[in-house]
Amino acid sequence: MSTLIPLPNKRRQNHYAALRRTSINSQNGSSTGINSGAVGYNYNSSRASSPALSQRSSVSYSSINGNTNSNNNNKNNSDFCQVTVRIRPFTANEWNLGNTIPVWEGNEELSTVSYSDEWIEKSNKNQLSYQYDNVIVGSDNKELYNRCVKDVVMSSMEGLNGTVFAYGQTASGKTYSMMGVENQPGIIPQAVDDVFYYIREMSKGDNEFLLRVSYMEIYNEQIQDLLSPETTNLRIFEDRRRGIYVSPLKEEIVTSAKQVMRIIQKGESNRHISTTDYNKHSSRSHTIFQMIIESKSQSSSTRSSKGSFYSQKGSSDSVKISQLNLIDLSGSEKATSDADRRKEGAYINKSLLTLGNVISKLTEEKRGHIPYRDSKLTRILQSSLSGNAKISVICTISPAGINADESHNTLNFAKRVKKVATKAHTNQVLDDKALIQKYKKEINELKVKLQVATDMSNISSSATSIDDGKKEEEMMLLKQERMKVEFYD
């Protein structure tokens, strides 16, 4: 089990003051100093157990009313990808290997990442500094979500597409950030809770919602349905109405956060996870959890006595449809000793390299050809990366010197993706193209059929009663005739 490690001297404690502030006490959620008993990056638990929906502190939902979340101190995030760098704590393995000097120092107030003084002194390197939209130091997933992801989730409830993905080398904390552990729920369970909170609040008015989810992975450049592993030959399609989508992909209609978490738990049990030279529980695939949100205001339609909807004259007869993608990318990694892991690593690195190339092309003044089709991952992300989505990228790095080169590559990726421009717009379709209206019509049709069947049953019962009465009368007459014959005989 990986745990946080106590810092050995006062100087390093000064470098990691922010980390001390964000370490979470597992008993009561309060801020504590860094010690071996604090909640750390437990990679075993983060993949083996589903995050609980309880033990979660309340968060601000002011964005529902159109206000800006006070916890969201984004800078320059309009029309550009929002990029957050997260520096995780040391793990026990890194500490045991003697990686005790932190390479990176994060300043949360200035949103900068730079070499620590100790690393500069040891490696004889010049100072290097990056600035992003947010910098998070430590293991507080609630802070990460509120500052970096919540706005994207709330926007998706208003009809804008949203994409959130974690990027970084293997064992840098991506799955911990996305899924979390029981007392530190990650981005996905917090997003699910927010979605249903929003639905409950808005449904008090005249809004209706239909939510469906899917869960897939890209393993060795093959798309697999985590909710229906037996389904084969999944392919990527594109049309004007739906955009880019995967089919045949199982979608489940959901009505509660607990139901969604059960579905995710089912999908996680089918995910490819193996032991590597760098991580005991390493994700060997990219996973994409999708939520399709349909919403409609009842004020745009009037309910008839039959239960069906018909549009008022001059009303807006449309449904908002948005897609929220929550993506856990498998980590880039060096060559490994196991042949199967080496093959998997080659596919992973190739798809991540293609993602980097696509982002580089998107940030060039003269774009030219953008190689979306060079990997399944970039093809699925094409709609988001090409502009029609709000995007939040979480780049995770290790503080250890052994990972300095990989962390440097991650920071350069974060620097490039920060330049990707987006222009998300509200997606609206006519009623007959929305699933929420399709199901409404089907329900109304079934109600009509049920009423007809009930009426026919009542008529049949009445006719049967009349027939039974006639038969009894005939039997009585027949008995009387027989009695007459017997009498005269």
Annotated binding site: 168-175
Burial of 51 (0-12, 13-18, 19+ CB in 10 A): buried
> Where is 352: in which H helix or E strand?
helix 339-362
Binding-site annotation: residue ranges for ATP: 168-175
Contact, 416 vs 356, CB < 8 A? yes
| Dist CA 383 CA 247 (whole Å) | 16
Contact, 373 vs 381, CB < 8 A? no
Q: Measure CA of the first residue to CA of the last residue in the chain; give whole Å.
A: 105
Contact, 257 vs 192, CB < 8 A? yes
Nearest to 84 by CA among 117, 106, 102: 106
Instruction: Supply the DSSP symbol for 299.
Output: G
Tokens coding 406: 């990989």
Contact, 73 vs 90, CB < 8 A? no
Tokens coding 113: 């990442």
Residues with Cβ within 8 Å of residue 173, at least 6 apart in sequence = 41, 86, 88, 396, 398
Q: What's at 192, amino acid-wise? A: V
Give the 3-state secondary structure of residue 219: strand
- Relative to beta strand 162-167, strand 318-328 is parallel
- Alpha-carbon distances, residue 143 vs 5, 131, 150, 215, 241 (angstroms): 21, 19, 10, 26, 36
Residues with Cβ within 8 Å of residue 111, at least 6 apart in sequence = 75, 131, 132, 133, 134, 135
229 upstream amide cis, omega within 30 of 0: no
Nearest to 115 by CA among 352, 126, 46: 126
Q: What's at 71, amino acid-wise? A: N
Where b means 16+ CB within 10 Å and e means fewer, 190-205 reads bbbbbbbebbeebeee
| Dist CA 381 CA 368 (whole Å) | 18
- Relative to beta strand 243-247, strand 235-239 is antiparallel
- Alpha-carbon distances, residue 406 vs 170, 171, 276, 398, 409 (angstroms): 9, 11, 16, 9, 5
Tokens coding 73: 């101190």
